């Protein structure tokens, strides 16, 4: 028995010693500069974003010989699943590029680190526009820093508009309704957009709710005017039934096919819009006559995950968001800047559409609705779909929306 106890004790000591050594090694790799492996998770699977990120990673590795970067890329929208799986299986990434509206949800779920201590004296912080910086905040914490922003707008078939005797892009709700109705003929729908589940209803409809001067806390009244607008557009025959099962891309494809005269889109459509065989013009989301100017912000933030290498990850983020590096990334990917020191990028100036979307960003608000954003998004979508499908009146839909959204905002 004594011999057995002695063996057990020796074994236990060995295990403890090995664990301690492993712990030492992990802590050395976490904070030191000798040898660090940084795991990056992003949603940039296509060109030009994916190869540009690879190029910048190589540049960083060359400048920091002790750092090895392992990149995992998943298709857009699947980052959250991958991140959740990573955290749940103990393989969390160190650096995460994520959709900015997900910030509060990720923070509440404990998927990303609070960077308050890192950004406290960070000089770059003052360069960001308020809306973009606000998108990183949750319960007093800073969960990432903004990378780039986008905001919605409209594209119009200018040839169709001219043929209908209209000279300018609709900029108000009244003009939108009149123009969409004028374009609706011969199998063409005046206004198209996508509301399939997962189409980000908050991104689609929040500008119109905010323009009525309210917030999600008072949806029964603040959403009513915009619900009435979309009901009127549907009643005019300007909105096709297909919008209930269309994605944003489906709607833009219909615009490309000349099945739609006006389409809700974003800066990501600018490249395709420039190649169309008809004249296209862009505008910011039409504003409520006499209302508050508003648009909504999307885009990407970059934060640190729960991989255990916060210092090394922050060092990479600090480098990646430095003026020269980020400018090179934005130029290559034609993503729009959200800070003052990068306002004059050449690709924006030379585009016929992008300055419009920069203007939309300038009046954009972040979707900081708390940790229950997906449920809120679903409730907003239900509200508008119910009206578009003719299931509920705007008043009924707005009331139902408030009772669904109210409890979610307090969580």
Partner 1 sequence: MTPITSAAPIRANVRRLRRHGRLTGILFLAPVVLFLVGALGYPIFVNVRFSFTSTTAGTLLSGGPWVGLANYTAVFTDPKFLESAGNTVVFTVMSIVFQLGLGLLLAAFYNQRFPGATRMSSLYLLAWAAPVVATGAVFRWLYDRQYGVINWLLGMLHLTDGHTAWLSDTQFALGAVTVANIWTGVPFYVTFFLAALKNIPEQVHEAASMDGAGAIRRFVSITVPMLRPPLLIGGVFGIIFTLKAFDMIWIMTRGGPLGSTETLSTYGYNQFFTFFQFGAGAAVMNVLLVVMIIVAAIYLRVSRGEES
| Residue ranges binding partner 1 (CB under 8 A) | 1, 80-81, 83-84, 87-90, 105, 108-111, 187, 195-198, 240-246, 259, 306, 372, 374-375, 378, 382, 385-386, 389, 391
173 burial type by CB count under 10 A (0-12 exposed, 13-18 middle, 19+ buried): buried
Structure tokens at 362: 């300038």
Which one, 102 or 356, has the nearer CB to partner 1? 102
Which one, 109 or 171, has the nearer CB to partner 1? 109
230 and 388 in contact (C-beta within 8 Å)?
yes
In the complex, the smallest distance separating the C-beta of residue 189 from partner 1, rounded to whole angstroms, is 9
Which are the contacts of 68, defined by CB distance < 8 A and separation ≥ 6? 35, 36, 37, 38, 61
363 and 284 in contact (C-beta within 8 Å)?
yes
Between the two ends of the chain, the Cα-to-Cα distance in Å is 58
In the complex, the smallest distance separating the C-beta of residue 255 from partner 1, rounded to whole angstroms, is 13
Helix (H) or strand (E) run with residue 204 in it = helix 201-211
Which one, 90 or 277, has the nearer CB to partner 1? 90
In the complex, the smallest distance separating the C-beta of residue 197 from partner 1, rounded to whole angstroms, is 4
225 and 288 in contact (C-beta within 8 Å)?
yes
Which one, 34 or 89, has the nearer CB to partner 1? 89
Q: Rounded to an integer, what distance in angstroms lies between the CA atom of residue 4 and that of residue 155?
A: 79
Helix (H) or strand (E) run with residue 67 in it = strand 67-73
In the complex, the smallest distance separating the C-beta of residue 327 from partner 1, rounded to whole angstroms, is 34
φ/ψ (deg, to 5) at 38: -100, 125
Q: Rounded to an integer, what distance in angstroms lies between the CA atom of residue 298 and that of residue 365?
A: 9
Q: Rounded to an integer, what distance in angstroms lies between the CA atom of residue 103 and that of residue 203?
A: 15
Which one, 72 or 84, has the nearer CB to partner 1? 84
In the complex, the smallest distance separating the C-beta of residue 154 from partner 1, rounded to whole angstroms, is 21
Which one, 224 or 392, has the nearer CB to partner 1? 392
173 and 287 in contact (C-beta within 8 Å)?
yes
Q: Residue 43: which of 80, 85, 7, 84 has the closest Cα?
A: 80
Q: Rounded to an integer, what distance in angstroms lies between the CA atom of residue 206 and that of residue 165?
A: 31
Q: How many H-runs (helices) and E-runs (strands) does the chain carry? A: 19, 13
Which one, 339 or 399, has the nearer CB to partner 1? 399
Which one, 102 or 149, has the nearer CB to partner 1? 102
Structure tokens at 232: 């009127």
3-class DSSP assignment, residue 76: coil
In the complex, the smallest distance separating the C-beta of residue 87 from partner 1, rounded to whole angstroms, is 5
In the complex, the smallest distance separating the C-beta of residue 332 from partner 1, rounded to whole angstroms, is 31
Which one, 104 or 222, has the nearer CB to partner 1? 104
In the complex, the smallest distance separating the C-beta of residue 409 from partner 1, rounded to whole angstroms, is 15
In the complex, the smallest distance separating the C-beta of residue 205 from partner 1, rounded to whole angstroms, is 15
Structure tokens at 239: 């909105």
């Amino acid at each position: 028995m004594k011999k057995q106890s002695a063996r057990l004790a020796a074994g236990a000591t060995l295990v403890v010693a090995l664990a301690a050594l492993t712990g030492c090694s992990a802590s050395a790799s976490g904070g030191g500069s000798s040898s660090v492996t940084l795991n990056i998770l992003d949603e940039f699977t296509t060109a030009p974003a994916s190869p540009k990120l690879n190029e910048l990673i190589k540049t960083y590795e060359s400048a920091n010989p002790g750092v090895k970067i392992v990149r995992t890329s998943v298709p857009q929208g699947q980052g959250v699943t991958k991140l959740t799986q990573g955290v749940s299986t103990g393989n969390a990434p160190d650096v995460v590029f994520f959709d900015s509206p997900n910030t509060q949800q990720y923070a509440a779920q404990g998927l990303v680190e609070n960077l308050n201590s890192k950004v406290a004296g960070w000089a770059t912080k003052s360069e960001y526009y308020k809306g973009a910086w606000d998108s990183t905040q949750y319960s007093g914490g800073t969960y990432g820093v903004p990378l780039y922003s986008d905001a919605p707008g409209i594209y119009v078939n200018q040839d169709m508009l001219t043929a209908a005797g209209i000279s300018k892009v609709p900029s108000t709700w009244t003009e939108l309704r009149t123009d969409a109705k004028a374009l609706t003929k011969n199998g063409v729908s005046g206004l198209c957009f996508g509301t399939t589940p997962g189409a980000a209803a908050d991104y689609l409809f929040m500008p119109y709710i905010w323009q009525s001067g309210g917030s999600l806390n008072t949806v029964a009244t603040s959403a009513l005017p915009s619900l009435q607008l979309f009901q009127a557009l549907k009643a005019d025959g300007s909105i096709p039934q297909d919008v209930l099962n269309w994605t944003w891309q489906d709607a833009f494809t219909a615009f490309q096919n000349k099945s739609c005269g006006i389409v809700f889109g974003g800066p990501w459509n600018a490249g395709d819009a420039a190649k169309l065989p008809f004249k296209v013009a862009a505008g910011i989301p039409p504003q409520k006559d006499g209302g508050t100017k508003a648009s909504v912000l999307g885009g990407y933030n970059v934060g640190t995950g729960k991989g255990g290498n916060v210092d090394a990850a922050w060092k990479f983020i600090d480098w990646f968001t430095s003026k020269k590096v980020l400018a090179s990334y934005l130029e290559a990917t034609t993503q729009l800047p959200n800070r003052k020191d990068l306002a004059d990028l050449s690709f924006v100036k030379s585009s016929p559409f992008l300055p419009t979307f920069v203007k939309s960003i300038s009046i954009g608000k972040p979707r900081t609705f708390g940790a229950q954003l997906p449920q809120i998004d679903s409730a907003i979508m239900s509200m508008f779909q119910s009206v578009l499908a003719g299931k509920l009146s705007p008043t009924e839909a707005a009331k139902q929306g408030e009772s669904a959204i109210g409890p979610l905002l307090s969580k």
